[in-house]
Amino acid sequence: MPTPSDPAPCDLDEQLYECLECGERLCSASSPPACPVCDGVLQNLSRPRPE
């Protein structure tokens, strides 16, 4: 049984980041300083929550 691609893999209190260099995506509740794969710049793909 193939694993379905999840459009929202992050928890509610996490945000999705994408590396501008290698395209690696990761979820983190805190703001990661750099890509864990290539140490490149991360872009926050999630909008900050107004709380």
Site for Zn ion, rule CB under 5 A: 19, 21-22, 24, 35, 37-38, 40
**How far is Cα 5 from Cα 33, in angstroms, rounded to an integer?**
27
- Measured in whole angstroms, how far is the alpha carbon of residue 36 from the centre of its chain? 11
CB of 2 to Zn ion, least distance (A): 26
- The minimum distance between CB 29 and Zn ion, in angstroms, equals 19
Closer to Zn ion by CB, 15 or 35: give it.
35
Q: Which residue has the tokens 């900050």?
A: 48
The pair of three-digit structure tokens given for residue 47, joined into one six-digit string: 């909008």
Q: Which is nearer to Zn ion, 10 or 32 (CB)?
A: 32
